[in-house]
Amino acid sequence: MKLLKKMLAVLALLPVLALANEAGFPLDHAPDRSRDLSALQNGARTFVNYCLNCHSASMMRYNRMRDIGLTEDQIRDNLLFTSDKVGDLMKSNMSAADAKKWFGAAPPDLSVIARAKASGDGSGPDWLYTYLRTYYKDESRATGWNNMVFPNVGMPHVLWELQGVRTAKFVEEKDPHDASKSVHKFAGFEQIKAGKLNALEYDNTIADLVAFLDWMAEPVKNKRQQLGVWVLLFMSLLVLLAWRLNASFWKEVK
């Protein structure tokens, strides 16, 4: 019953999570690191250090990270900050009431965020990869931050120390459909304060984090795909044998 309630809670969030790219901002393709254990482990560390403070992943247990090459001792020594047991669910210590008070809404559970964000604009990992790399400073917002993929987002830029501080540049251009009007067009970012990581290092960190979020949404995806290949090969062989058996049978009849 508890598992059913959790699943219903996640499903209730899907209409919110599955919103298409509101700004029409083009999504970058997220690197596929689903089979890179070191990238997944680095992504897990980033997730626990920066995301789990506010967001939960209530459908995932810490000990499931054994599937990405971590031992229980490594999980316990390096990733257990909000729990005492390796078998516990990955939950945030922030209460829903406090989250709503501080951010206006409780941060969504991230268990299936990589699947929920898929749309016609791109895959869920593409959305996350672009979203986490397009924050910019905006003093008009209560948090001081805005985002190109999710305009007026309520979530602050929790990774700003790594990326640094950037502003977005916009230009006014004539509307191609109405010469009497102008459109506000994005013209790039301007770095005003360096972060702990350079641009390439930050992109790699985000790629690892997104890879972990994608793995967390479906931990058995790689095994399912491998099994699917073997099933298709078996079915192809079965079809070949059936075809030759059928030919042999009708040859004798004729």
194-203: per-residue pLDDT in tens? 999 999 999 9
Which residue from 159, 133, 117 is spatially nearest to 16, judged by alpha carbons? Answer: 117
Is 119 found in the same domain as 33? yes
75 and 169 share a domain?
A: yes
User: Taking every pair of C-alpha atoms in the chain, what is the biggest distance, in angstroms?
Assistant: 85
Q: How many alpha carbons fall within 13 Å on the CB side of residue 112?
A: 16
- Amino acid letter, residue 54: C
DSSP string, 203-218: HHHHHHHHHHHHHHH-
42/139 same-domain check:
yes
Q: Are residues 154 and 238 in the same domain?
A: no
Q: Rounded to two decimals, what is the model's pTM?
A: 0.81
Half-sphere exposure of 111 (CA within 13 A, CB side): 21
Give the start-end residues of each E strand in the chain.
Answer: 57-61, 89-90, 135-137, 145-147, 164-175, 178-194
Q: Are residues 201 and 231 in the same domain?
A: no
Query: Considering the chain, what is the average pLDDT of its residues?
Result: 87
Pair 212, 46: CB distance under 8 Å: yes
Which pLDDT band holds residue 1 (cuts at 50, 70, 90)?
low
On whether both 87 and 200 belong to a single domain, the answer is yes
Same domain, residue pair 135 and 251: no
Beta strands in 84-139 (DSSP E): 89-90, 135-137
Task: Clarify whether residues 159 and 242 are in a common domain.
Answer: no
Q: Does residue 66 sit in the same domain as residue 164?
A: yes
Look up the CATH number of the domain holding residue 200.
1.10.760.10
Which amino acid type is present at position 166? R
30-44, 72-86, 140-154: least confident range = 72-86
Quote the domain boundaries for residue 253.
226-254
Q: Same structural domain for residues 170 and 247?
A: no
99 and 44 fall within a common domain: yes
CA–CA distance, 115 with 213 (Å, rounded to integer) = 9
Domain count, the chain: 2
pLDDT band at 122 (very low <50, low <70, confident <90, very high): very high
